[in-house]
Amino acid sequence: MLDVEEFRLSVRAWLEDRYDVLPPDADDERLDVIVRTPDGHEAAARAAKRFQRELHAAGFAGVDLAEEYGGRGLSRAHARALSQELMRHDTPSLRPLGVGPTLAKATLLASGSEEQKRRFLPGIASGAEQWCQLFSEPDAGSDLVSLRTSAVGDGDEWVIDGQKVWSSYAADADFGMLLARTDPDAARPHAGITMFILPMDADGVQVRPLVDVTGGRHFNEVFIEGARVAAEAVLGEVNNGWAVSSGTLSGERSGYMGGSGSGRRRRQVISAARAGGRVDDPVARQRIARVVSAERILEFLRGRYVSRTLCDGSGPAGSMLKLAAGSLEQEAAELVADLRGAAAQAWPTAARDGDVACHGVNAARQSTIAGGTHQIQQNLLGERVLGLPREPRA
Ligand SMILES: Cc1cc2nc3c(=O)[nH]c(=O)nc-3n(C[C@H](O)[C@H](O)[C@H](O)COP(=O)(O)OP(=O)(O)OC[C@H]3O[C@@H](n4cnc5c(N)ncnc54)[C@H](O)[C@@H]3O)c2cc1C
């Protein structure tokens, strides 16, 4: 197999021909996808698709995906080297591609049929098809098992009715991974849930965008009324959707913000200290050291997780990474705003730095919610790792 460092150098050479290298202290706010208008959102989504197509044409997409599924057939270490190189360059953000290259890919690989893998994975690798995750509902977030969206068998088809919410990038998605209740009489509620692949253009599916606290528009509500899908749309087995979704959620926790060694937070806090004239302030220096160390430790933890030396890659390690990464995200964003001082509270229209710092604090709120809240991760770790008594359940 191609040597990882050789691969890294080929990616670097390709990127350097096309995109600027970020200076070591760059405050790379580009990663935050500041999309506050419908036009901005659409432009970011278009740029992401275009960039993914470029990567694909160059052989840098689907790096750790088998060749028969449209990938390069290399290892996770190669994929990690690619993402580290991407972080070093001023490329368009791939985040608007949604959950396809991360969660949908992982779920299809773990639970999809051979036909589903061959049909859907190449479109994910090339960026031709986008995905979203249709799990949360108005009354089923942390307590996902109480979801009420239903799928009822009708001949060779399933008829789906219900409502989903907080569905990231659903307005741009071609397909959704949807959880629905297929057996309302199952002895345990977990046992009556199935995962489906829902084409987002199916009759009866309506997507309505929501605006979040930052003004961003990536969230959506999805209303489903009598949408029909074929029997082949079941991902995994009927009534086994809970097990299928556990794999998705564990991947979400570890991958969501596990950090990939970009030094992004280090750059942000140091550049804010310089801009705010706080480089010699001993208290500021201590807080900066805390953030920089936490980012480094997280990077090592993630490396161990990826190489399976932290554990076998199962749920609790994902919860631990998510807790560490989410806390770092908020601490760093608050530090950046503090270091900028008054400039992060009010700024002239032309000066974007204060705006970016303020946006960072608001955007970081989501880091302890998305992919399962921190309280829920703490419950999981308490019960599964520390052996504490189980939480009382209704
Ligand atoms: C940026 C972002 C992107 C998202 N994208 C998606 C997506 O694409 N698809 C999707 O399906 N969902 C998505 N979500 C939804 C996310 O999964 C839910 O917000 C999350 O699971 C929490 O559910 P909830 O919002 O209903 O909060 P609730 O479950 O109502 O929780 C409210 C509060 O109560 C606490 N709480 C609840 N139960 C317990 C308990 N047992 N013990 C202790 N504390 C508890 C929680 O920690 C939280 O503080 C996204 C969320 C965010 C923020």
Biggest distance spanned by C-alpha atoms of the chain: 72
Instruction: Please give the pLDDT value at position 178.
Output: 98
Q: From the CA of 139, give the closest atom in ligand 1.
A: 26
**What percent of the chain has pLDDT above 90?**
59
Residues 287 and 188 in one domain: no
pTM of the model: 0.90
Residues 160 and 222 in one domain: yes
Residues 264 and 378 in one domain: yes
CA of 89 to the centre of ligand 1 (A): 33
Q: What is the CATH number of the domain that holds 36?
A: 1.10.540
Instruction: Please give the pLDDT value at position 251.
Output: 67
Give residue 151's pLDDT band: very low, low, confident or very high (50, 70, 90).
very high
Inside any domain, residue 157: yes
Residues 177 and 205 in one domain: yes
Q: What is the CATH number of the domain that holds 359?
A: 1.20.140.10
Q: Report how many helices (DSSP H) and strands (DSSP E) the chain contains, helices first.
A: 11, 8
pLDDT tens profile 169-196: 999 899 999 999 999 999 998 999 999 9
pLDDT tens profile 343-378: 888 777 766 667 778 888 888 999 999 888 999 999
Residues 230 and 261 in one domain: no
Instruction: Please give the pLDDT value at position 255.
Output: 59
Instruction: Please give the pLDDT value at position 247.
Output: 78
Give residue 31's pLDDT band: very low, low, confident or very high (50, 70, 90).
very low
Instruction: Please give the pLDDT value at position 161.
Output: 98
Ligand 1: which residue has its CA nearest to atom 5? 168
Q: From the CA of 98, give the closest atom in ligand 1.
A: 8
> Is the confidence at residue 311, as pLDDT, over 80?
no
Q: Which residues are catalytic?
A: 252
Which residues span the domain enclosing 10?
4-97
Residues 205 and 280 in one domain: no
- 292-297: Cβ within 8 A, 24+ apart: 292/265, 292/266, 294/324, 294/327, 294/328, 294/331, 295/259, 295/263, 295/264, 295/265, 295/266, 295/328, 295/332, 297/324
Instruction: Please give the pLDDT value at position 34.
Output: 47
Q: Report the chain's mean pLDDT, rounded to a whole number.
A: 88
Mutate to test the pocket of ligand 1, among 142, 198, 377 (most ligand atoms within 8 A of CB): 142
Does ligand 1 come within 6 angstroms of the Cβ of 146? no
pLDDT tens profile 227-261: 999 999 999 999 999 999 987 876 666 555 444 45
Residues 202 and 270 in one domain: no
Instruction: Please give the pLDDT value at position 315.
Output: 67
Instruction: Please give the pLDDT value at position 88.
Output: 85
CA of 368 to the centre of ligand 1 (A): 9
> Is the confidence at residue 38, as pLDDT, over 90?
no
Residues 31 and 147 in one domain: no
Q: What is the CATH number of the domain that holds 208?
A: 2.40.110.10
Q: Tell me if 135 sits within 8 A of 179, measured CB to CB.
A: yes
Does ligand 1 come within 6 angstroms of the Cβ of 373? yes
Does ligand 1 come within 6 angstroms of the Cβ of 150? no
Considering its fold, how many domains does the chain have in total? Answer: 3
Inside any domain, residue 114: no
Does ligand 1 come within 6 angstroms of the Cβ of 375? yes
Instruction: Please give the pLDDT value at position 314.
Output: 60
> Is the confidence at residue 113, as pLDDT, over 50?
yes
> Is the confidence at residue 305, as pLDDT, over 80?
no
Does ligand 1 come within 6 angstroms of the Cβ of 210? no
Does ligand 1 come within 6 angstroms of the Cβ of 366? yes
Mutate to test the pocket of ligand 1, among 132, 373, 375 (most ligand atoms within 8 A of CB): 373
Instruction: Please give the pLDDT value at position 257.
Output: 46
Return d(Cα 300, Cα 85) in angstroms, integer. 17
Does ligand 1 come within 6 angstroms of the Cβ of 116? no
pLDDT tens profile 40-68: 777 888 889 999 999 999 999 999 999 99
Q: How many residues does the chain have?
A: 394
> Is the confidence at residue 30, as pLDDT, over 60?
no
Q: What would the mean pLDDT of 95-114 be, rounded to a whole number?
A: 91
Give residues with Cβ within 8 angstroms of 33, minimum separation 6: 44, 93, 95, 96, 216, 218
